[in-house]
Amino acid sequence: MLLAITALVLILTFSTAAPAQEIEGSRATEARRAEMARRAQQAYERIVAEQTEPLATTAEEVIERAIDGMGGREALASLRTLSTTRTGFMVGGTFGATRWLKAPNLLRQERNGGLFVVTDGITAWQVDGNEWQPLPPDGSMWQQQFSISLDLVDYEAKGVAYEFVGTVALEGGAFYKLRKTISTGKVVFVYFDIASGLLMIEEEYGENGRMLNLFFDHREVGGVLLPHMRVRLADVLETAHVALHSYEANPPLDDALFEPKISEASEETLVQ
């Protein structure tokens, strides 16, 4: 598993983690990239040859295989709420956050240090002083954050659309690539492992360049396979960090937790 993670991170970060001026003109780098591409193609051909059914050719087929890979529709339907605690590691230090999810669209996150965000999947709000302020829909990333079903079940009702792009060879794996458009109009490319059906990569582009989320270590939570490790890579300052996740399945969560207002306890904390 560690070797596969390392290989995938390397091939995806060649254009992210090294300055362009260092890459250009470097024979060693070009040789390494060519070798990685060759190995990626070999892995792709091997994985495709091992499949017992034809490759998916539509977004709907890919999504159905992803749902089956996670545990099936019945298992996903039984997971109505989810609590996840995240510990992250990066060059500047560590951070932590707790996130609560309630099907189909509700999310609340509290980050160590006092950042509060909630979203109903359409609009997102963030605390600003003593008031919750709506975030600009065209620039907010919260509506695309990790959901219980990864926006695979009843995605049209959530304002999500998928388009099949094709199959992709990456070192250590073969992937289906889909274009995902969320309710705000923001586009994210998502990659599903052909062998397991699981979501492995999210890729997006914006003013700050390219950003990647790589998902690993899928383990069962309430009958559903969920990633317990995420590697996040970004062009901005060539940053990268690793986050480890732990989950609680179906904790009791009241809808009031997701309302865009500060609770009395939070107000007391801010005053202090």
- pLDDT, residue 140, reads 65
- Percent of the chain whose predicted confidence (pLDDT) is above 70: 81
- pLDDT, residue 239, reads 66
Contact present, 16 and 212 (Cβ < 8 Å): yes
pLDDT digits (tens, 9 = 90+) for 195-241: 999 999 999 887 778 888 999 999 999 999 999 999 988 876 556 78
pLDDT(80) > 90:
yes
pLDDT digits (tens, 9 = 90+) for 228-249: 999 988 876 556 788 889 999 9
Distance CA 23, CA 73 (A): 45
pLDDT(84) > 90:
yes
- Confidence at 113, pLDDT banded by 50, 70, 90: low
Contact present, 119 and 132 (Cβ < 8 Å): no
265: left (phi over 0), alpha (psi -120 to 50) or beta: alpha
- pLDDT, residue 3, reads 42
Listing DSSP states for 98-159 in one string gives EEEEETTTEEEEEETTTEEEEE-SS-EEEEETTEEEEPPTTT--GGGS--TTTT-SSGGGGT
Contact present, 203 and 214 (Cβ < 8 Å): no
- pLDDT, residue 218, reads 95
Instruction: For residue 264, give the amino acid letter.
Output: E
Q: What is the pTM of this model?
A: 0.79
If one compares 90 and 237, the residue with the highest pLDDT of the two is 90
If one compares 193 and 144, the residue with the highest pLDDT of the two is 193
pLDDT digits (tens, 9 = 90+) for 131-144: 778 888 765 677 77
pLDDT(10) > 50:
no
- Alpha carbons within 13 angstroms on the beta-carbon side of residue 256 total 4
- pLDDT, residue 104, reads 84
Distance CA 30, CA 34 (A): 6
Angle between helices 2-13 and 27-50 (to 10 degrees): 130
**Neighbour tally for 218: CB within 10 Å:** 19
Residue-averaged pLDDT of the chain: 82
Distance CA 71, CA 58 (A): 21
DSSP state of 73: H
Contact present, 238 and 224 (Cβ < 8 Å): no
pLDDT(20) > 70:
no
Distance CA 141, CA 151 (A): 14
- pLDDT, residue 145, reads 78
